């Protein structure tokens, strides 16, 4: 179940945002906060936060974003003033909604965000509990003893117990098994040469003949529209 938050001082705008989220994501939970301060005291971990720009006492939501940035995978900025649009894109911000454009426009924007970003998130049972994993951040996985260890961007590492390499690769999406103990995310492959593949993060992996064919097919599949 996806979790969302709305941070906005206007009750009507909060209701519009909550209804839009619940229409686009029927099985979701939404927390509502009416100020940055209130949100700081109660924030959980969210897939998306809808953040207003203008709050009372000249508080600017964009200027406060750095205080709450770790609470969400993505942010949608909203304001009745379109001039804020040019400031609404950057780290983790994936869109701008102009208040007054209507709930249907917001729902369309949320659907686009879901397709481009949120559907890329999967809840996985790891050795330390359930974890929401952004699939495009997974670089590679390998068998260590009897477990599968998954390596992601930002030096994030977690362990999947009781899975085969094939099962873990399937669970985490389009992972290509390149040898008996390792699988790569084709999105992170920078180059292939001979029987080896190099990632953008510089790690290099030896591939079996079957593994190289699997990887090449996965790379071709990514190029299809």
| Residue 69, in any domain of the structure | yes
Q: Are residues 7 and 108 in the same domain?
A: yes
Q: Are residues 105 and 16 in the same domain?
A: yes
- pLDDT at res. 86: 66
Q: Are residues 110 and 154 in the same domain?
A: no
Residue 138 class from Cβ within 10 Å (0-12 exposed, 13-18 middle, 19+ buried)?
Answer: buried
CATH of the domain at 72: 3.40.50.2300
204-206 vs 121-126, strand pairing mode: unpaired
Q: Are residues 145 and 200 in the same domain?
A: yes
Alpha-carbon span 90 to 82, nearest angstrom? 16
Which of 89, 116, 143 finishes a domain?
116
| Residue 121, in any domain of the structure | no
Q: Are residues 7 and 112 in the same domain?
A: yes
- pLDDT at res. 225: 45
Q: Are residues 105 and 147 in the same domain?
A: no
Which of 86, 116, 146 finishes a domain?
116
- pLDDT at res. 155: 85
- pLDDT at res. 94: 83
- pLDDT at res. 102: 93
Task: Return per-residue pLDDT of the chain as tens, 225 residues.
Answer: 889 999 999 999 999 999 999 999 998 999 999 999 899 888 888 999 999 999 998 888 888 888 888 888 889 999 998 887 766 666 578 889 999 999 999 999 999 888 877 877 788 899 999 888 888 789 999 999 999 999 998 788 999 998 999 999 999 887 999 999 999 998 889 889 999 999 989 999 999 999 999 999 988 876 554
Asked if residues 27 and 71 have their Cβ atoms less than 8 Å apart, the reply is no
Q: Are residues 154 and 94 in the same domain?
A: no
- pLDDT at res. 63: 86
Q: Are residues 173 and 106 in the same domain?
A: no
Tokens of 190: 């920078």
Reference 190, options 178, 205, 172, 202; nearest CA is 202
Asked if residues 100 and 75 have their Cβ atoms less than 8 Å apart, the reply is no
Q: Are residues 99 and 25 in the same domain?
A: yes
* Domain span at 163: 133-223
- pLDDT at res. 182: 98
- pLDDT at res. 166: 95
Reference 25, options 96, 110, 135; nearest CA is 110
Report the domain count for the chain.
2
Q: Are residues 11 and 70 in the same domain?
A: yes
- pLDDT at res. 106: 97
């Amino acid at each position: 179940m996806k979790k969302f938050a709305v941070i906005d001082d206007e009750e009507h705008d909060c209701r519009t945002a909550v209804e839009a989220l619940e229409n686009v994501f029927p099985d979701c939970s939404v927390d509502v906060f009416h100020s940055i301060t209130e949100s700081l005291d109660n924030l959980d971990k969210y897939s998306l936060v809808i953040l207003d720009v203008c709050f009372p006492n000249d508080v600017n939501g964009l200027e406060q974003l750095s205080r709450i940035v770790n609470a969400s995978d993505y942010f949608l900025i909203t304001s009745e003033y379109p001039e804020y649009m040019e400031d609404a894109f950057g780290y983790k911000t994936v869109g701008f909604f102009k208040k007054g454009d209507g709930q249907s426009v917001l729902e369309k924007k949320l659907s686009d965000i879901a397709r481009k970003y949120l559907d890329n998130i999967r809840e996985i049972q790891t050795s330390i509990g359930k974890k929401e994993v952004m699939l495009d951040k997974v670089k590679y996985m390998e068998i260590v003893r009897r477990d599968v260890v998954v390596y992601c961007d930002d030096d994030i590492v977690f362990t999947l117990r009781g899975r085969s390499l094939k099962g873990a690769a399937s669970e985490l999406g389009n992972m290509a098994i390149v040898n008996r103990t390792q699988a790569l995310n084709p999105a992170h492959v920078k180059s292939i040469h001979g029987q080896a593949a190099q990632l953008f993060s510089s790690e290099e992996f030896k591939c079996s003949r079957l593994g190289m064919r699997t990887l090449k097919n996965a790379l071709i599949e990514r190029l299809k529209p």
